[in-house]
Structure 1
Amino acid sequence: MNPEHVLALYDDQLRRHAQPDDPHTTLELTHGVLRQTSTTHGWNGVIWSDLDHTTADAAITAQLRHYAGRPFEWKLYAHDQPTDLGQRLQTAGSTPEPAETLMAADTHDQPTTIDLPEGVHLQPVTDPTGIDLMLEVHRQAFGTSPTHLGHHLRTQLAQAPHTIAAVVAMAGQRPVSAARLTLHPGTDFAGLWSGGTAPDWRGRGIYRALVAYRARIAAERGYRYLQVDASDDSRPILERLGFVPLTTTTPHLFFGESL
């Protein structure tokens, strides 16, 4: 796999020509950025930009005015221009979260054998009850149960079920790990998201099993690449599975500032 080629495809298909991730959102190309705006509880923010040192500040100001005091995210990639865009965003009031590594792998190179610890089984998420199990895993793994994630998953399952495949690993009646696969029709990419495992169940191969489960689905549906924003914890596991780093991405959060 050629990382530069795959990154160029990613930028073109999932950023420059992104599709709304929620029926209640709109995309708009303006001031050199592609932004998403939600009318409900969905994600607001900048997906792609084509800026330079002469246009960046005006573009940032335009987004602050557009979102009019609502929280939003500017998803910054290491290769975005200008090179000091991150500093400009912070000067304008953003708070950067920890950087993650954008990684990709050829779907057909991924193992699809699912090996689980004794007593653990996989339960596909097909209804609100399954989403509640996913949120419980999120609470155990990360200490939060984000309302916006629950809203997004319920909307996606109800209105665009062909774009998602989610699963929960159950130890008896307890949800101990969960993950989802986001499918992007018309592109080469399927995305791995929301992978998390309860602390007392880590290190037993469940994360790898959930990658294999989702890789099998992506391959069956004709997607060439898997992509993931990997944390420092998951990056070593993914590298052992053959995922290749493409770049890094840093969420810059604006908590309701306006101009």
Structure 2
Amino acid sequence: MIKPNKYLKAYDDQLRTDAETPSAIHVEKLDVLRLVTFAGGRGFITYRDLGSLNEDGISTLVGQALEHFRRDAQITTIEWKSRGHDHAPGLHEALLAHGFTPDEPESIMIGPLEALCSDGSTPDGVLLRQVSSDVEVRAMSEMVDEAFGDPASTRQADALLARLARNDGMELWVAETAGRMVGAGRLEPVPGTGFAGIWGGAVLEAYRGRGIYRALTAARAKSALAQGKTLAHSDSTEYSRPILERSGLVKVSTTTPYNWSR
């Protein structure tokens, strides 16, 4: 258990800071919270920890954070990102009482980037490449919505294009077969740390089980290694977690997003 504990400490110390929200438009502090505004009317609430707050203190803070975003008419959704290893008495109940709804928990996975490169040969007939143009980013986002079973939306594409314009290091990778995008994922190197985030991995259902997800992951890991990064981190669904575990990443905790909509 020494390595998972070491990884978890690195996660808390290095990633639960401004490094967590490189695409933020605005960040405001509220006690221990960081209240983050993203493009597209999205609010986001995160923190290093909740300190010694008790149930009453946490409930009060949830209400204050919600009111902060409610005052901004452009904010239509808010995500409160919780972690399973935090000391947070009464947080779940407070969030429900203030109108937040929990999503399914995801596994926080961390491990060496090199491990992700060892089992990621590109399947025959599949092309892996980066995309950055308006047309391709929008096509990628539409494909990802389809892969996750979500309604098609322009919000994610708009946010990704805004980030690419800021040149903050994010890379968008796609997998194509017969000229069709069938998989995608983001790489987010974290400045000032040894970490790179492996995010948004998605493959269309009809193309799963062929090694495309692993190949996309390996391509992003190789790019991060070339930039001097050594560790990968990812919030993984139960679909992607076993793949990352087989490549040497370990589950150090869980994260559950709680969502509020105006």
TM norm structure 2: 0.89
CA contact (8 A) 2:19 2:191 kept: no
2:244 aligned residue (212, 228, 238)? 238
Output the CA distance in 1 between the equivalents of 2:228 and 2:165. 23
Q: Does 1:46 align with 2:45?
A: yes
Question: 1:103 and 1:173, CA in 2 relative to 1: closer, same or farther beyond 3 A?
Answer: same
1:255 matched residue in structure 2: 261
Q: State, as a whole percentage, how many aligned pairs show the same letter.
A: 33
CA contact (8 A) 1:136 1:175 kept: no
Say which SS state the counterpart of residue 126 (structure 1) adopts: coil
1:157 matched residue in structure 2: 164
CA contact (8 A) 2:116 2:244 kept: no
1:92 aligned residue (83, 95, 98)? 98
2:68 matched residue in structure 1: 66
Output the CA distance in 1 between the equivalents of 2:153 and 2:199. 14
Equivalences, count: 253
1:26 matched residue in structure 2: 26
Over aligned residue pairs, what C-alpha RMSD do you find? 1.9
Question: 1:19 and 1:95, CA in 2 relative to 1: closer, same or farther beyond 3 A?
Answer: closer
1:148 matched residue in structure 2: 155
Give the superposition deviation at 1:135: 1.4
2:37 matched residue in structure 1: 37
Output the CA distance in 2 between the equivalents of 1:223 and 1:67. 35
Deviation sequence 1:25-76 (CA, Å, 0-9, x none): 11222122112123x4164111214242142111101111100163211000
Give the superposition deviation at 1:205: 0.2
Say which SS state the counterpart of residue 118 (structure 1) adopts: coil
Output the CA distance in 2 between the equivalents of 1:43 and 1:166. 21
The one-letter code matched in structure 1 to 2:196 is A
The one-letter code matched in structure 1 to 2:45 is V
CA contact (8 A) 2:170 2:188 kept: yes
The one-letter code matched in structure 2 to 1:168 is V
CA contact (8 A) 2:142 2:153 kept: no
Give the superposition deviation at 1:112: 5.1
CA contact (8 A) 1:183 1:191 kept: yes
The one-letter code matched in structure 1 to 2:236 is A
Question: 1:17 and 1:8, CA in 2 relative to 1: closer, same or farther beyond 3 A?
Answer: farther
CA contact (8 A) 2:111 2:250 kept: yes
Output the CA distance in 2 between the equivalents of 1:89 and 1:18. 25
CA contact (8 A) 2:45 2:79 kept: yes
1:5 matched residue in structure 2: 6
2:144 aligned residue (135, 138, 142)? 138
The one-letter code matched in structure 1 to 2:190 is H
Output the CA distance in 1 between the equivalents of 2:195 and 2:42. 20
The one-letter code matched in structure 1 to 2:59 is D
The one-letter code matched in structure 1 to 2:31 is H
Structure 1, unaligned runs of 5 or more: none
Give the superposition deviation at 1:14: 1.7
